[in-house]
């Protein structure tokens, strides 16, 4: 086993977006280099990376080049083909998280069946292969229900509400007539997420819960710690530990959940990577989600997840990120992703505002076997 990797090793990352950029910055802090594979020239991550391979994710020679450059390969983007991870593994590369975790997260039906099999509570759902499946599913789930493409949906894209069976054809067309899942409407009072990591030694560390507010299907704000009861926080930790262990996962995961009026949680989905709702950890925690992921995949000990301050993260969309006055707020920590082209709604950066904590490290999940 090459683990723990010594400083000076190279971490390969599939994907060149802002998550890869923040992973690369964290890797540099620990003395690692990164190699990015991305189809996008001048990507946010490659601009802070030692090496970049520009290519499609499934190009065999590019994957060979990444394997040659890297001591371990990870990903920052969940729509990387799971076959790319399998190919890297076949080339003898060390990869984390594993291909099964990626493949499960990529297919909403596989993901929900995994939750069901492991006793993780999730919303009632039905598999939809054609518009004709929607009417019977709606009878079982109740109306309205949310139709989501099985694959490649993000930031609320590929989703349509179905009010009645008469909407079936229109809703199915609205999501591109693609294989889908129909979900019962969840009467949540709040959306929360838990960011956690599992190391190569099986240890699990979770961050305090954050509350997430969306606008137009895009995460706008994360507030940490969430005002959750101890029972809710304990359920979140138990859920994330189950998911990590059952997937034999190595690295950071983000699990999105709906909190119901009685404080109980239903899992919406998980992202097999560092997560936008955990960006606040970079300013408010002893070891943040990016460093934690690098530690995990490199086989290093996980770090403490204690919060040193309460935090509110605001995503900067489009031209909002172009205002240097953002840097004038003494309580605001500004992160800009170096993206060219501030299209409306595009995530260009974020700002984290810190406040004193009311109580020390609420909802803390100490390092331990989950
Ligand atoms: P997703 O792409 O699954 O993260 O969904 C995007 C957003 O749609 C979520 O953050 C929720 O605000 C909302 N949403 C997703 N699924 C449901 C559901 N089953 N019931 C109610 N709202 C939902």
Q: Whose CA is nearest to atom 1 of ligand 1?
A: 156
Ligand 1 atom closest to the CA of 212, numbered from 1:
10
Q: How far apart are the first and last CA of the chain?
A: 24
| Pocket lining for ligand 1, CB < 6 angstroms | 123, 146, 153, 156, 183, 185-186, 191, 214, 217, 256, 268-269
Identify which of 78, 156, 213 to mutate to test ligand 1's pocket (most ligand atoms within 8 A of the CB): 156
Domain range 124-184, CATH architecture? 2-Layer Sandwich (3.30)
Q: How remote is the CA of residue 337 from the centroid of ligand 1, in Å?
A: 26
pTM to 2 decimal places: 0.95
Mark the ranges of the chain whose per-residue pLDDT is less than 70: 1, 154-156, 360-370
Q: Which of 177, 123, 172, 121 is nearest to 147 (CA)?
A: 172
- 3-class SS at 314? strand
* Burial class of residue 170, CB neighbours in 10 A (0-12, 13-18, 19+): exposed
Q: Whose CA is nearest to atom 2 of ligand 1?
A: 156
Domain ranges of the chain: 10-95, 124-184, 190-369
Q: How remote is the CA of residue 85 from the centroid of ligand 1, in Å?
A: 28
3-state helix, strand, coil in the chain (%, to 5): 30, 30, 40
Ligand 1 atom closest to the CA of 188, numbered from 1:
21
Q: How remote is the CA of residue 186 from the centroid of ligand 1, in Å?
A: 8
* Burial class of residue 174, CB neighbours in 10 A (0-12, 13-18, 19+): middle
Q: Which residues lie across from 265 on neighbouring strands?
A: 259
User: CATH number of the domain at 10-95, please?
Assistant: 3.40.50.20
Ligand 1 atom closest to the CA of 269, numbered from 1:
3
Q: How many Cβ atoms sit within 10 Å of the Cβ of residue 307?
A: 24
Torsion of CA 282, 284, 289, 292, to 10 degrees: 100
Give the CATH number of domain 190-369; options: 3.40.30.10, 3.30.2010.10, 3.30.470.20, 3.30.565.10: 3.30.470.20
Residue 217's pLDDT is what? 85
SS (H, E, C) 199-268: CCCCEEEECCCEEEEEECCEEEEEEECCCCCHHHHHHHHHHHHHHHHHCCCCEEEEEEEEECCCCCEEEE
- Which pair of structure tokens corresponds to residue 199? 């190391």
Q: Whose CA is nearest to atom 5 of ligand 1?
A: 156
Residue 369's pLDDT is what? 39
CA distance 278 to 335: 13
Torsion of CA 15, 252, 254, 234, to 10 degrees: 180
Residue 368's pLDDT is what? 42
Asked if residues 265 and 239 have their Cβ atoms less than 8 Å apart, the reply is yes
Same fold, 10-95 and 124-184: no
């Amino acid at each position: 086993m090459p683990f723990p990797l010594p400083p000076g090793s190279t971490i390969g990352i599939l994907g060149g977006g802002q998550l890869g950029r923040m992973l690369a910055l964290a890797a540099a802090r620990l003395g690692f280099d990164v190699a990015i594979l991305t189809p996008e020239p001048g990507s946010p991550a490659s601009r802070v990376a030692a090496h970049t391979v520009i290519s499609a994710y499934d190009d065999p020679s590019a994957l060979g080049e990444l394997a040659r450059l890297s001591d371990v390969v990870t990903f920052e983007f969940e729509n990387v083909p799971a076959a790319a991870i399998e190919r890297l593994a076949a080339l003898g590369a060390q990869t984390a998280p594993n291909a099964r975790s990626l493949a499960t997260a990529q297919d909403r039906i596989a993901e929900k069946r995994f939750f069901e099999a492991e006793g993780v509570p999730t919303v009632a759902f039905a598999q939809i292969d054609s518009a004709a499946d929607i009417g019977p599913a709606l009878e079982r789930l109740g109306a309205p229900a949310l139709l989501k493409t099985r694959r490649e949906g993000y930031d609320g894209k590929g989703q349509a509400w179905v009010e009645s069976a008469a909407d079936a054809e229109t809703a199915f067309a609205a999501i591109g007539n693609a294989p889908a899942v129909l979900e019962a409407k969840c009467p949540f009072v709040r959306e929360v997420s838990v960011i956690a990591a599992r190391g190569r030694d099986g240890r699990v560390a979770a961050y305090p819960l954050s509350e997430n507010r969306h606008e137009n299907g895009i995460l706008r704000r994360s507030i940490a710690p969430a005002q959750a009861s101890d029972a809710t926080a304990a359920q979140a930790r138990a859920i994330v530990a189950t998911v990590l262990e059952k997937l034999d996962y190595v690295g950071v995961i983000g699990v999105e959940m709906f909190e119901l009026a009685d404080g109980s949680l239903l899992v919406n989905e998980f992202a097999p990577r560092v997560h936008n709702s955990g960006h606040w950890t970079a300013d408010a925690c002893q070891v943040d989600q990016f460093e934690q992921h690098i530690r995990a995949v490199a086989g290093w000990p996980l770090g403490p997840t204690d919060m040193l301050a309460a935090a509110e993260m605001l995503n900067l969309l489009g031209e909002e990120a172009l205002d240097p006055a953002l840097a004038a707020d003494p309580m605001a920590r500004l992160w800009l992703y170096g993206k060219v082209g501030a299209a409306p709604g595009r995530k260009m950066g974020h700002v984290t505002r810190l406040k004193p904590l009311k109580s020390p490290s609420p909802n803390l999940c100490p390092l331990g076997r989950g």
